[in-house]
Amino acid sequence: MERKLIDRFGRQHDYLRISVTDKCNLRCVYCMPEEGMTFEPDEKLLRFEEIAEVVRVLAGLGVRKLRLTGGEPMVRRDLEKLVAMLAAIPGIEDIALTTNGIFLAPKAEQLRAAGLTRVNISLDSLHADRFRLITRGGDIRKVLDSIAAAERVGLDPIKINVVLMKGMNDDEIADFLRLTLERKLHVRFIEYMPIGHDDEGWKARYLPLSTVLERCAELGWDAQPAEAVYGNGPARNYRIAGAPGAFGLIHPVSDHFCETCNRLRLTADGNIKPCLYWSDEFNVRRYIGDDRAVEELFFRALDIKPQNHEMAQALASAAQSHTPTARRMSQIGG
């Protein structure tokens, strides 16, 4: 009988998030410092062949969905080759990409042809100046072009990731909601997470997502719970009456979704992370080529997967049962 990736709490894992690099062409304020980041040397990153080997083993254990992330996955040369290698693995049904969208437009067609099914594009402001400030230098036109290119080549659904930050972009909630009235886009508001930050700076900007529904009600827009948009694990979904698009609220901090967590993470340097938030990691690289050893390492990682990430305790400055990761979000992949 096929073994499945089921943990101590009965959660079955069919989803792997793969970070393909820790490097990025941007320096978003909530993700990386402006200066002083050090990156893994290229030889420490898993090669495409190694990533595909790991995925082949995991597909035999029931993994069906993949997401490529980073750092910025599009800075890894020939990403479409990796997509094609992964799409050819029996059992893999869905390959998604999370990107900042700066380099996507010219490559969208090729990625789609290689087997990419859908895309999440991060966009935290609709104003060019503010976008440049948040990303420390990003050109919003390129991102908007990428969204249009993704629509054109038929990547579906297209999700727009918006990290909500108090005093930074919370005055744009209505504009993001309006996008869903105009286009078939799925806007996902994400709570700002305390990863790789000093606690006080994070708390000053943190905003619970109840703000989005309050804003919607103030505007007189009737937001009804909506069906899940494909691949939308942890989001609570809504649609404004008559809108072609939808929106989702991802509350990792205030309303964690750990009880239905079906995901494992693989960092660019080959570490299995059973939980986004905790420090536990298992490096798989030296086992690649020995399928049984790779399987066993994933089962070991699952064995210590915690029931809950406990980020809410960080908000309340309360004690936590594990050590939070020392990695930044760009070194995990979100």
Nearer to ligand SAM, 173 or 288 (CB): 173
Q: Is the peptide bond before 157 cis (omega within 30 degrees of 0)?
A: yes
Q: How far is the CB of 124 from ligand SAM (least distance, A)?
A: 7
Q: How far is the CB of 126 from ligand SF4 (least distance, A)?
A: 17
x/- letters, 311..330, toward ligand SF4 (CB under 6 A): ------------------xx
Angstrom distance (rounded) from CA 295 to CA 298 = 5
Side chain identity at residue 203, one-letter code: K
Output the CA–CA distances (angstroms, integers) from residue 72 to 20, 195, 268, in the order listed. 8, 17, 11
Task: Evaluate whether 223 touches 239 at the Cβ level (below 8 Å).
Answer: yes
Task: Evaluate whether 46 touches 295 at the Cβ level (below 8 Å).
Answer: no
From 94-102, 204-212, 236-244, 307-315, span contacting ligand SAM (CB under 6 A): 94-102
User: Can you tell me which of 14, 72, 172, 281 binds ligand SF4, judged by CB under 6 A?
Assistant: 72
User: Can you tell me which of 15, 131, 176, 192 binds ligand SAM, judged by CB under 6 A?
Assistant: 192
Angstrom distance (rounded) from CA 319 to CA 313 = 7
Q: How far is the CB of 73 from ligand SAM (least distance, A)?
A: 6
Nearer to ligand SF4, 59 or 164 (CB): 164
Task: Evaluate whether 282 touches 271 at the Cβ level (below 8 Å).
Answer: yes
x/- letters, 85..124, toward ligand SF4 (CB under 6 A): ---------------x---------------------x--
Output the CA–CA distances (angstroms, integers) from residue 9 to 76, 81, 216, 259, in the order listed. 36, 36, 36, 8
Does 72 sit near ligand SAM (CB under 6 A)? yes
Angstrom distance (rounded) from CA 286 to CA 193 = 32
Angstrom distance (rounded) from CA 122 to CA 287 = 34
Q: Which residues bind ligand SAM (CB under 6 A)?
A: 24, 30-31, 69-70, 72, 98-100, 122, 161, 163, 190, 192-193, 195, 329-330, 333-334
Q: Which residues bind ligand SF4 (CB under 6 A)?
A: 24, 26-28, 31-32, 70-72, 100, 122, 329-330
